[in-house]
Amino acid sequence: MSTAPLDVDPLLPRPPGLVRRFWMRHARLADWLLAVFALIVGYLEAVDTGAGLVGADWLVSGFFALPVVGAAALLWRRSRPLTCFGVALACSLGLTLANTTVPATVLVLALYAVAVYDRVAFAWIGAALAVALNAGVEILVQGSPHSLALLTVTFAITLLIGVTVGGRRRYLEALLDRAAQLTRERDQQGQLAAIEERARIAREMHDVVAHGLSVMIRLSDGAAAVATSDPERSREAVRQIGEVGRSSLRDMRRLLGVLRDEGQVEFAPQPTLAELDDLVETYRSAGLPVAVQQKGTPPTDTAIQVALFRGVQEALTNALRYSREPGRVLVSLDYDNTCATLDVTDDGIFVGRPESVGSGRGLLGLRERAVAFGGTVEAGPAINPETGQDGGGWRVRMMLPTAIEGTK
C-alpha cells in the first residue's frame, strides 16, 4: 500500500544536515576550537607586529597576553555575548595602542556572536563603537585612521552574516516555543475535556443508579408490608422491582459500554419528554402521588428535553426518598417562546437527607445541566403563596432559556 507524501509547510526551514547536527550536539567543542583558532591567529598577529616592541618587561608581557584574554572570552560568546564583545574590544584597543595594525580577528568573532545570540541593535551599536574607538586610537598613535575603511567593510560583512544567521536562529526558537505552547494548550484542553467528561459520566451514573435504586427500595418496602395481607399486590410490586432493575441494568450497560469503547455497543437515544408518562408511572407504582401539568408546546431541542426529563427524575427521586407522607407531588411544566420552566412541589414533611443516604450530587448535576443552557436551578422549602411562610414540603424549580441558539 502506497502512502502519500506528507505536505511540507514552505515556511518551515529544512531540517539540519549531518554536519550541523554534529556541531549542535557539541556546541562547547565548537567554542573551544574557535577560541584556539582565535588564539593562534591573534598570537601570530602580536608576534608579527610586536617584534620590535620596546619597554618594560611587564608591558611587553601584557602585550602578548592580550590575545590570550581575547580568545578566552570567546568561550562565553553564547551565554554572555555582550561581555565577550566588551573584553574583545578592550584587547583590540590595547593591541592597537602598541602597534600600527588593528587586530580584528577576535573582535569580528565577538561581534558576530552579539548579532547571533543577542539583540541586533546591540550588534550595530557595538560595531559603530568599535570603529569609532579604534579610529580614535589610530588617530592618536598614527595621526590618521588608515584602517577605518577596511574595518568598516569587515564589520558590515560580519553584521550581515550574523544578522542572517541570528534571524534564522530566532525563528527556529520561536517555532519551538510555539510548538511547546501548543502542546501545553493541547494538554490543558485534554485535561479540561477529561474533567467535563467525568462530570457528565457522574451525572449519568447518578441519574441511572439513584432513580432505579430509590424506586426499587420503595417497592421492596411496600411488597414486604403487604406480603401477608395482600399477596397479589406484593407479587405486583416484586414484578415492578424486576422491571425497574432490568431497565436500570440496560442503562448501566450502555453507559459502561461507551466508556470501554466496545465495538458493539447498543446505542440508544437519551430519554426525552416523550417518555415522561412512563417515568411518572414508575414513581406512582412506588407509592408517590404524582400529578403532571403541562402548559404550552415543548421545545424541539432534544438536549433541552433531556435536561427537563432529568430534572423531573431528580426531583421525584428526592421526593420519594426524603418526603414523609406527601399527599400530592405536582410536576408543572410551562413552555413559552423564550423559556421552559419545570416546577416540582410536594406537600409532605421534608425530613432532610440522612448523612448515610445520598451524596448531594443530584442537584449539583442538575445545576450543571442548567448552566450549560444559561439556566438556573432553585431548591428549597415550599412557600405557601397565601401566607408567604414555609408551607411544608419541598420545591425544585428549573428554568432553561429556549430562544438561545447554539446551546449544548
Here the cell at position 137 is: 586610537
With a CB cutoff of 8 Å and minimum separation 6, the contacts of 308 are 273, 333, 340, 342, 398, 400
pLDDT tens sequence across 331-377: 999 998 889 999 999 888 766 554 434 456 677 878 888 888 889 99
Task: Give the C-alpha distances (Å, rounded to integers) separating 40 from 30, 43, 49, 110, 134.
Answer: 15, 5, 14, 16, 22
Here the cell at position 280 is: 411518572
Closest CA to 138 of 126, 127, 150: 150
274 contacts 309 by C-beta, under 8 angstroms = no
Whole-angstrom Cα distance, residue 147 to residue 394?
Answer: 97
What integer pLDDT is reported at residue 62 of this predicted model? 63
What integer pLDDT is reported at residue 191 of this predicted model? 81
Beta-carbon count within 10 A of 376 CB? 13
Q: What is the dihedral of CA 190, 195, 197, 198, to 10 degrees?
A: 140
Task: Give the C-alpha distances (Å, rounded to integers) separating 110 from 26, 127, 233, 238.
Answer: 20, 10, 98, 91
Give pLDDT < 50 ranges for the chain: 1-8, 54, 56, 100, 264-265, 354-358, 405-408
Check residue 289 and report its DSSP letter: -
What integer pLDDT is reported at residue 323 of this predicted model? 79
With a CB cutoff of 8 Å and minimum separation 6, the contacts of 91 are 66, 67, 69, 70, 73, 103, 106
What integer pLDDT is reported at residue 5 of this predicted model? 44
Q: What is the dihedral of CA 323, 329, 332, 333, to 10 degrees?
A: 70
Here the cell at position 254 is: 450502555
112 contacts 160 by C-beta, under 8 angstroms = no
The whole-model pTM stands at 0.49
Start-to-end CA span in the chain (Å):
42
User: What domains, with CATH codes, occur in the chain?
Assistant: 18-146 (no CATH), 196-261+270-401 (3.30.565.10)
What integer pLDDT is reported at residue 6 of this predicted model? 46
Closest CA to 231 of 288, 287, 212, 239: 239
With a CB cutoff of 8 Å and minimum separation 6, the contacts of 47 are 64
Whole-angstrom Cα distance, residue 211 to residue 208?
Answer: 6
Kind and range of the H or E element at 247?
helix 231-260
